Homo-oligomer: A and B are copies of this chain.
Amino acid sequence: MLIRALTLFRRAVPASRFCPCATGRTQQYCTSAKNISIRDALTSLDTGSNIRIRGWVRSVRSQKNHLFLHVSDGSSLQPLQVIANSDLNIRGLTFGCAVDITGSLEKSPSQKQKVELQAQRVEVVGECDPVDFPFKIKERHSLEYIRQFPHLRCRTNSFGSLLRIRSEAAAAIHSYFRDNGFVQIHTPIITSNDCEGAGELFQVEPSGNEHSSDKENPHFFSVPAYLTVSGQLHLEVMAGAFPAVYTFGPTFRAENSQSRRHLAEFYMAEAEISFIESLEDLMKVMEDLFKTSTEHLLSQCAEDMGLFHKFISPGQRKYDLTFISYTEAIDILSRNSEQFTFKTEWGCDLQTEHEKFLVKHCGNVPVFVTDYPYDLKPFYARDNQDQPRHTAAAVDLLVPGVGELCGGSLREERLELLKTRLARAGLEDTYAWYLQLRQFGSVPHGGFGMGFERYLQCVLGVKNIKDTIPFARSSRSCLL
């Protein structure tokens, strides 16, 4: 119905510079050339067909009678080779410019590609001054260099690949959870919980609210409101009504850190599973998520993944996960305590140096560390009620090159135990609603969170977390 209507509605077609193909009112005005993505062109078997491509020039090479272009439209890493007569070498045809080209798709005589486009028409739709443009033809710019240009870096091969991989990884995570019966919950970004009293929170008020006319209650939400550091408690709400839930969205830390592993704004996939009663069952989900997503990337983004593994770093390719208990980990570390700055006594938290050592010690594979000291873990971690070394049913997943990738635990579902612990911390009133979850139809449950950018660092071997996110935010830096 819309199509019929659109025909009535259609405006006059502006005159074209070269041929009717160039108008953007595509197929109906040009019966011969078919709009096609470069990805599709590269795998097309339909040689001899008349096609139209649009994209950006990645290289220009002029020979006596011929012009060779490489054109990319972002649908794939590999560009399409375009061959034209030298008389089509028009002004503005430079590295970085946007072009609109029609021609005939032909079998390529070269080994480098299966097909090439023999151009009949080349139009420059957007010029690009090679002097001002910060990226130069044939140069392989470092990730550090391109990071300075957050509005342009997607035009480089490496960051283009990163973004395609990131998009596929996000899809893989959603698919994994959906295929396994998880309901997606958009946990709130703005929250009045100050989660675990963890400090390092961003607070939120309307811009200009320092001049609030309401001196009695200056807060927009009536209460102080923060950016979420985790959707866990909200997912636990949902674990009281669904078999399994997940969230996958941004979380925040106001850390004054310039570490290559920290961002002020980063993504987490978090899951909560009802009726789960063992850490083993939880680890099975964590392992499945990691393996399924990574296998998806290796099969669906082989070309883009290859670029990282070839030019950046090998990334994670061994999938035999292993595990040790915290207590075993401390034993291992203690035997090598002279190598560490931080203490390796039972009861101390594992530091980055410890995590790295443990991963190496286990053969450079991902390592689950289980059953941490009860006193190291937040109030919601389930009490293992063991003695004399009192532990909680919590687990971290450490991975090569990154350290902590996931953290999870069984949650304390027993009302009395939880009440006692919250009361001891003076949090009984703050978490009255959370206690009610245990008062009304409480079930054993557990969950975990996986840092998405760290996951990408791990599988791609990217050193700096800032190179895994479209627009990085960290202390002193919020470009665009």
Contact = CB atoms under 8 A, between A and B. Distances in A.
A143 interface: no
Most buried by B among A207, A233, A276, A433: A207
A78 interface: no
Given A190-B264, A220-B254, A441-B96, A181 B37 contact: yes
A194 B208 CA distance: 13
Contacts of A207: 194, 199, 201-203, 224, 226, 254
A205 to B, nearest CB: 6
Interface in A175-200: 178, 181, 183-194, 199-200
B181 A163 contact: no
Interface in A244-301: 249-250, 252, 254, 256, 264-265, 267, 274-278, 280-281, 283-284, 287
Interface string A389-418: 000000000000000000000000100000
A265 B190 contact: yes
Chain copies in the assembly? 2
B471 A280 contact: no
A299 to B, nearest CB: 15
B203 A250 contact: no
A185 B163 contact: yes
B163 A183 contact: yes
A61 interface: no
A402 B166 CA distance: 34
B238 A10 contact: no
Nearest to A201: B207
Contacts of A317: none
Contacts of A476: 220-222
Contacts of A469: 186
A163 to B, nearest CB: 6
A427 interface: no
Contacts of A250: 186, 189, 249-250
Interface in A141-168: 150-152, 154-155, 160, 163-164, 166-167
B473 A221 contact: yes
A271 to B, nearest CB: 13
Given A96-B441, A202-B207, 10 more contacts: A5-B323, A23-B277, A24-B278, A96-B440, A127-B442, A152-B440, A154-B242, A170-B184, A189-B265, A234-B480
Smallest CB-CB A-B distances: 9 pairs: A24-B277, A126-B442, A74-B242, A206-B254, A221-B478, A154-B241, A167-B184, A188-B471, A203-B207
